[in-house]
Amino acid sequence: MKLWPEGGLWRHPDFLKLWSAETVSQFGTQISLLALPLAAIDVLHVSAFKVAALTTVEFLPFLLVSLPAGVWVDRLPRRPILIAGDLARAALLASIPIAYALDALTIWQLYGVGFVVGIATVFFDVAYQSFLPSLVERGQITDGNAKLEISRSAAQLGGPGFAGLLVGLLRAPIAILIDAVSFLGSAFFIFRIEKTETARVDRAPRRKMRTELREGLSYVLRHPYLKNIAACTALFNLFGNMGFAILLVFARRELHLSPQAIGLAFTLGNIGPLLAAFSANRISRRLGVGKTIIVASILGGPMFLLLPFAPHGNAALAVLVPAILVGGFTNVVYNIAQVSLRQAITPERLQGRMNSVMRFIVWGTIPLGSLTGGALASWVGLKETLIVGGIGCCLAFLPVLFSPVRSVREIPGPLAEEPVLDVLLADTEATSVPPQHV
């Protein structure tokens, strides 16, 4: 009996190091996802609007620095960017338990740490998604993304319960220290990757940043697949984060759930993403890539509408767990399919800018959604805000449904590269680019 599978990425040493780095940091990140807002709620006792503003601040860098980050990622080796991003996040998060120990922790420090960590995350995420296609063969991209999602889903499965216990035992600021250590572990594994990045030696000479930014924007906004995937994901993130930004406040102050119960809800619910990570490849092969993207985007939205109707007390778990489970399953299937499609069709020299533009669009809506959610919750109430967000999530599938994405059966190769455009055309008509048949 073999203890380790043979063949494919299971025997790819550099991918295994990247996978190990992602696994370590994902488990640590699950702690901060729960502990950071709970530090604001239970330690600093701030309002729902200020808790929602924390999410806004954390994702604001995706609006401010995503586009130039993509240019730098295409210009520079990506592995050092990944390492620097991990080390910066480790140091910043470690400042929170230190300030708490000195009785100097404030909401403004949480905002500051969240913002700068967000900047480091922008560079890390753009470099990370651009690094995978240069590390593995094109035919292995979907398998690589699926394996990376296994780590993310496993962390989502075990992380919240562990985080809930840590927060209950140590308090939220101390629990964040575990996340800081996880980023050090991630940096160590990435440092040990041996493959030299040579895929971009023939790229065009460096041009002005404005020109390269315009090329990246034009590539995404004119592409018949990418622009519609971006619209779908952006809408879902906008309305989803209207609710998610105040979900913990709703769970603590209206449903009266303990940190341990909240962690348990996410732990049980996150069985869905783990199952999706193992089955996403089979689903894509059976339905086709385009139909998988569309079906997953249709099924995910209604789950958000269940959350505001959960009963009080621990009985709420009977609603929260199935909603998180099904929503998480569809989200992971959607992400594996659409991210793999994006990476496969984009030329190597544009990977960084493509990913940064997509991040700018789809994650740039997160701070807008969380800020809107916090303001709306203060105006009409927590439950009503969750309902509005849920309705919006139910409509997010429309851009991909009425697009050429539905005709994609298998992951294609890169489309023929277009010359650099001198003028960025507005993305207003689907007829600006003829449908591509694959």
Q: What is the pLDDT of residues 265-284, one digit of tens each?
A: 877 777 888 788 788 888 98
**pTM above 0.85?**
no
> Could you give the count of Cα atoms lying within 13 Å of 170 in the half-sphere of its Cβ?
18
pLDDT of residue 420: 37
Helix (H, G, I), strand (E, B), or coil: what is residue 24?
helix
What's the mean pLDDT in 327-339? 89
Tokens of 389: 């967000």
Q: Where are the beta strands (DSSP E) in 217-361?
A: none
Of 321, 156, 329, 297, nearest to 228 (Cα)?
A: 297
**CA angle in degrees (0–180, nearest 5) for 154-373-252:** 60
**Mean of all residue pLDDT scores within the chain:** 81
Cβ 302 vs Cβ 319: under 8 Å: no
Separation between Cα atoms, residue 25 and residue 180, nearest integer Å: 9
Helical H segments across 194-225, by residue range: 209-222
Report how far residue 87's alpha carbon sits from residue 187's, in angstroms, rounded to the nearest whole number: 7
Task: Give the model's confidence band at 228: pLDDT under 50 very low, under 70 low, under 90 confident, else very high.
Answer: very high
**pLDDT confidence band for 347 (50 / 70 / 90):** confident
CA nearest to 341, candidates 401, 397, 393, 284? 284
Q: φ and ψ at 410, to 5 degrees?
A: -125, 165
pLDDT value at 97 more than 50: yes
Instruction: Collapse the DSSP code of 257 into the 3-class scheme (helix H, G, I; strand E, B; otherwise coil) and give the result.
Output: coil
Least Cα distance to 245 among 81, 95, 382, 61 occurs for: 382
Average pLDDT on 178-187 reads 88
For residues 294 and 191, give the distance between their C-alpha atoms in angstroms, rounded to a whole number. Answer: 38
Across 11-153, the runs of DSSP E, i.e. the strands, are none
Instruction: Give 121's contacts (C-beta < 8 A, 6+ positions apart).
Output: 61, 85, 89
Q: Span 45-50, mean pLDDT?
A: 81
Residues counted in the chain: 438
Measure the CA angle with vertex 388, ends 378 and 157; round to 5°. Answer: 95
Angstrom CA distances, 350 to 95, 131, 137, 251, 256, stand at 36, 12, 17, 42, 48
- Going through 147-241 in order, the beta strands assigned E by DSSP cover none
pLDDT at 354: 86
- In the three-class reduction of DSSP (H, G, I as helix; E, B as strand; rest coil), residue 256 is classed as coil
- Summarize the confidence of residues 157-175 as an average pLDDT: 75
* Predicted confidence band of residue 169 (pLDDT cuts 50, 70, 90): confident
Across 397-418, average pLDDT? 77
Q: How far is the CA of 31 from the CAs of 163, 266, 393, in angstroms?
A: 5, 12, 26
pLDDT band at 209 (very low <50, low <70, confident <90, very high): confident
Per-residue model confidence (pLDDT) at position 87: 94
Both tokens assigned to 42:
């239970």
- Tokens of residue 172, six digits: 């939220």
Instruction: Check pLDDT > 70 for residue 17.
Output: yes
Who's near 46: CB < 8 A, 6+ residues apart?
A: 40, 107
Q: Tell me the pLDDT band of 54, cut-offs 50, 70 and 90.
A: confident
Residue 56 has pLDDT above 80, yes or no: no
User: Across the chain, which distance is largest between two alpha carbons, in Å?
Assistant: 62
- DSSP summary character for residue 346: S
Q: Is the pLDDT of residue 199 over 70?
A: no
CB within 8 A of 20, min separation 6: which ones?
189
Residue 312: which of 250, 268, 264, 270 has the closest Cα? Answer: 250
Question: In the predicted model, is pLDDT for residue 2 greater than 70?
Answer: no
Nearest to 411 by CA among 345, 326, 355: 345
Whole-angstrom Cα distance, residue 409 to residue 412?
A: 9
d(CA 118, CA 99): 20
Ordered by where they begin, the domains of the chain are: 10-196+209-420 (1.20.1250.20)
Rounded Cα–Cα distance for residues 83 and 372 (Å): 34
- Mean pLDDT lowest for which of 24-33, 214-223, 299-308, 365-374? 24-33
